[in-house]
Amino acid sequence: MMMPGELVLIAEDPEAHGAFGGHEKIERTVFCTVKSVGRTEMYAALSSGHEPSYIFHLDFAFEYQNEKLCRYDGIEYRIIRTYTGEVDGIDLTVERSNHYVPGTDGCS
């Protein structure tokens, strides 16, 4: 499965502190290609304690700036692995995070 999509990359701003002492989040949207996780990738990740959900391919590696979280289709994911090949672009392997993002699932 490969399909185009929009991915929200989420970083923490260490300069800005929230009401409870946490860091403010900086979000930016990039275009991506959504790929399913292959069998080899799945087994490798499971053996290290991760459960990958998707691989997001960004056409330009510079778009990824070491963010640890992302959101796709209203669901937040942790970035568990990055891979840059011989051509431009980067693959981000992600696993589902336990954080619910209110207002993004179509429910009120």
> Which structural domain, as residue segments, surrounds residue 37?
2-14+24-89
Report field, pTM of the whole predicted structure over 0.85:
no
As a whole number, the mean pLDDT across the chain is 83
Q: Is residue 102 part of a domain?
A: no
Q: Is residue 107 part of a domain?
A: no
Q: Is residue 96 part of a domain?
A: no
The string of pLDDT tens digits covering residues 45-78 is: 777 777 889 999 999 999 999 999 999 999 999 9
Rounded to an integer, what distance in angstroms lies between the CA atom of residue 95 and that of residue 76? 9
* Residue 106 confidence (pLDDT): 45
Q: Is residue 106 part of a domain?
A: no
Q: Is residue 71 part of a domain?
A: yes
Q: Is residue 106 exposed (0-12), middle (13-18) or buried (19+ Cβ within 10 Å)?
A: exposed
Rounded to an integer, what distance in angstroms lies between the CA atom of residue 49 and that of residue 106? 31
Q: Could you give the number of structural domains in the chain?
A: 1
Q: Is residue 7 part of a domain?
A: yes
Classified as helix, coil or strand, 103 is coil
Percentage, residues of the chain above pLDDT 70? 81
105's tokens: 């699932």
* Residue 108 confidence (pLDDT): 35
pLDDT-based confidence at residue 16 (cuts at 50, 70, 90): low
Q: Is residue 34 part of a domain?
A: yes
Q: Is residue 48 part of a domain?
A: yes
